[in-house]
Amino acid sequence: MTKHWQAADIPSLTGKRILITGANSGIGYHAALKLARKGAHIVFASRDRQRGQAALDRLHTEAPGTDTELAILDLASLASIRTFAAAELAQKRPLHVLINNAGVFAPPKRLETADGFELQFGTNVLGHFALTGLLLPALQQAAAESSYRPRIVTIASIAHKRGQLNLNDLQSKNYGPMRSYQQSKLANLLFAFELDRRLRASGSTILSVAAHPGVANTNLFLAGDHSPLQKTMRNAVNHLLGILFNTDSEGALPTLYAATSDDVQDAGYYGPQGFQEMRGEHVGPAKIASQAHDTEAALRLWQACEQLTGVTFL
């Protein structure tokens, strides 16, 4: 019987710097914990200093002696992203892995970022687009200093399969909580694949890959502004998810695989191999909906992201 890849198979990451957005909870936290245990220097990005520090303290309790730093980064604010990226590049340190993990899930009402973008598209897509572009010099530095191939890992979702990219309504003026979320996760995949094409065309050795956690029992489902009844219902559903689906620790496995496995391919997309890709300890290539292969849509999305964020690269 073939042995399935496990977190124990992560190679030594001593000397590698890894930035994880949304690292203070859920999948991001468990990915940070396991990568730190393998010797990586973790840039622990959180939009809230108090919650970020509390999570970092927890990590140091669970993994004493690990090498981490707290970074304050709000992906719903282009100003915050620019400030963080400028400070990061000023230190002239290489970045070996960027994990675009943070996300917003289906607020019941349409909300906006600091820049007036619909919150899910603005955070899940535009925030990570801008961050990736602004941090590209640090990834290129890592590529230039060794034979190691730096990686950009973008977290998508099985929800992308029902997503449709409406280029005339990326800001979801006609808002539906799940429809907007599905569009943002489809856009994450289109971005990851278009980024790969552009990296290859430029001759870069940087990898652009994607992963999804299946259906993980994380606090993403509970976060947000909900009525008491909605909170009660979401708590009940979250309890059911905890019984039926992955824990957030198990849900981190595809992220860890995409970030570290030697078997990862350019433009790869990875997830659990259980029923309907919803759970399972076996990680492998995930199924990609046909709309995520639309290169014309990916190009137009890229152009829209450049226009909306003011960040251009590759």
Catalytic hit among 181, 257, 269, 270 = 181
User: For residue 147, what are the contacts with CB-CB under 8 A and spacing of at least 6?
Assistant: none
User: Which token pair is 121?
Assistant: 């598209």
**How far is Cα of residue 164 from the mean position of the Cα atoms in its chain?**
20
Q: Name the token pair of 63.
A: 């993994």
In angstroms, the CA 182 to CA 157 distance is 8
76 vs 45: CA distance, rounded Å: 13
Please state the length of the chain: 314
22 phi-psi bin (left φ>0, alpha ψ -120 to 50, beta other): left
Q: Which residue has the tokens 């790869």?
A: 268
CA angle 65-7-101, nearest 5°? 85
Give yes or no: 181 in active site. yes
Give start and end residues of each alpha helix (H) in the chain. 26-37, 49-62, 78-90, 119-120, 128-145, 177-202, 228-244, 248-251, 253-260, 295-309
| Structure tokens given for 226 | 């909900």
Contact 108, 176 (CB under 8 A): no
* Residues 6+ positions from 209 with CB-CB distance below 8 Å: 151, 152, 153, 154, 192, 196, 258, 264, 265, 266, 267, 268, 269, 270
Is there a contact between 78 and 130 (Cβ–Cβ < 8 Å)?
yes
177-202 and 128-145 are packed helices; what angle lies between their axes, rounded to 10 degrees?
Answer: 30
Residue positions annotated with a catalytic role: 181
